[in-house]
Amino acid sequence: MSAFDRLKAEIDGQSARPPLRVLAASGQLGYGIPGAALKAGIAREPHVIGADMGSIDPGPAYLGSGQIATSPSMTARDLRLVLTAARKLDVPLLIGSAGTAGTNSQLNTVAEILRQVAADEDLHFNLALIEADMPRDVVVEAVNGGRTQAIGAIAALDDETVNGAANIVGQMGVEAFHRALALGADVILAGRACDTAVFSAVPILLGYPVGEATHMAKIIECSSICCIPGGRDAMLGTLDETGFVLESMNPARRATPTSVAAHSLYEQADPYTVSEPDGVLHVGSAQYEAVDERRVRVHGARWESAARASVKIEGATWVGERAIMMAGAADARFIENVEDIIAAVKETARDIAPPDPEHPYSLYFRHYGLNGVVDWPTPPEVLPREIFLLGECIAATADEARAVIAVVRQHLLHHGFPGRLSTGGNLAFPLTPPEMNAGTAYRFSVYHIMTLENVTDLATLFPIRMEEL
């Protein structure tokens, strides 16, 4: 009997559904799960353990490259914590968005680490691997059928963009996890997945209210970030037929009505709705009530099933190879003239190293301390005493990018400007060499909603591989 089947039998054997304890082990597995809080959460004997690995915060690089974002050693450490705990309690363990972007290559890498952990700990269970790479022909068909819609300012999709992307993934919802549980999975490792699905799949399959389960999942998927002070410690959600209670497993963190309500808005363009592949969660009617100083009860969110299933698809395209230089400046005259200096150095670099017309390189500069993060509409009344320069070249090859950025660095160091008192040494380099290769550059090219013609298409888009370990 699988861990889920045992849990379902336990729930079904009672006259009414009991409170269901769902433990969010970490806000992002692979970056170091705080051990004390997780231990405290395990002591509460949760019925389900979930952990998300996904995020687009690092940008498109990991989606484009297919490499995992976290170190193999830290990934193994965190997997060991959650895997041993789940197997000791004999409860389902669900992990979503393997490797951060959830590509098939990342899924396979994390799966291999998980297998090694299981072997080291002599653990035996049924493992489900759910793939999330989108077939190009399916996406092209959706594009040509008018079934893709851009999210935000990204351009509409066309065949060239789809076929030119390095990787394209789709975000699975609870449906894929339900199929894996039906196949007898004790542990599920999924590719790109909705954060909520990791934590709501089991409660929904057990018959708990979809709206309350989804709302709870939306809040706990980042673990204790919804608390004061926010953190990455394990978070326990206790769900019943009418709502749920939230509690951080770190006694130093407090869930309050305000902090929890605020997190309901996290990553949402519309503060009143949370869109999922199979419907929309309406949180405008939700109520947040303090149970005590550290716990909050939430209830009242409303679920609306979608007329047609949809999948959010994400893709990244190769841009070029990147090289960078870093330097600091404390010369007031340099800082005052920095825009003119950079413009002149760019022109010099293009004269010395002319761009290939077929594969032109790009030069970017950010001067932190002076409009480095935000391009303010008006200049500061008093210039900063120091600024930090980040120069970036993206070219067709790593050698070309490195060569160009080296030219930029040298001419930036010795460039003449009004009032200059020193012919050199106007820059301070924090590292040597001052320029370095910085890997491959990608950009998001696919960030769209793809509507499906039939809900049964989901099984094709997110296939499952079962293993017995």
pLDDT at residue 276, rounded to an integer: 87
Report cis status (omega within 30 of 0) of the bond before 433.
yes
- At 27, is the pLDDT very low, low, confident or very high (cuts 50, 70, 90)? confident
Strand residues in 300-425 grouped as ranges (E): 302-305, 310-329, 362-368, 387-395
304-340 per-position pLDDT tens digit: 988 888 999 999 999 999 999 999 999 999 999 999 9
CA dihedral 96, 100, 104, 106 (to 10 degrees): -120
With residue 36 as reference, give the H or E element that holds it.
helix 35-43
pLDDT at residue 265, rounded to an integer: 73
178-235 per-position pLDDT tens digit: 999 999 999 999 999 999 999 999 999 999 999 999 999 999 999 999 999 999 999 9
- At 152, is the pLDDT very low, low, confident or very high (cuts 50, 70, 90)? confident
Q: What is the mean pLDDT of residues 435-463?
A: 92
pLDDT at residue 262, rounded to an integer: 86
Q: How far is CA 316 from CA 60, 163, 378, 396, in A?
A: 6, 11, 35, 17
Nearest CA to 53 out of 9, 102, 89 is that of 102
Query: Which sign does the torsion angle of CA 342, 343, 346, 348 carry?
Result: negative
Q: How far is CA 373 from CA 221, 324, 387, in A?
A: 28, 17, 12
> Where do the domains of the chain lie, and which CATH numbers do they carry?
3-132+171-309+452-468 (no CATH), 319-444 (3.30.70)
Phi and psi based region of residue 439 (left: phi greater than 0; alpha: psi -120 to 50; beta: remaining): left
Query: Which sign does the torsion angle of CA 104, 165, 450, 199 carry?
Result: positive
What 3 state SS string does 133-177 have? ECCHHHHHHHHHCCCEEECCCCCCCCHHHHHHCCEEEECECHHHH
48-100 per-position pLDDT tens digit: 999 999 988 889 999 999 999 999 999 999 999 999 999 999 999 999 999 99
**Prediction pTM value:** 0.93
d(CA 294, CA 251): 8
Judging by beta carbons within 10 Å of its beta carbon (0-12, 13-18, 19+), is residue 65 exposed, middle or buried?
buried
Which single residue is written with the structure tokens 């340099």? 334
How many Å separate Cα 134 from the centre of its chain?
18
Strands 93-96 and 187-190: parallel
pLDDT at residue 169, rounded to an integer: 98
Which single residue is written with the structure tokens 């072997």? 119
Coil, strand or helix at 5 = helix
Nearest CA to 394 out of 317, 323, 316 is that of 323
Sequential DSSP letters for 403-414: HHHHHHHHHHHH
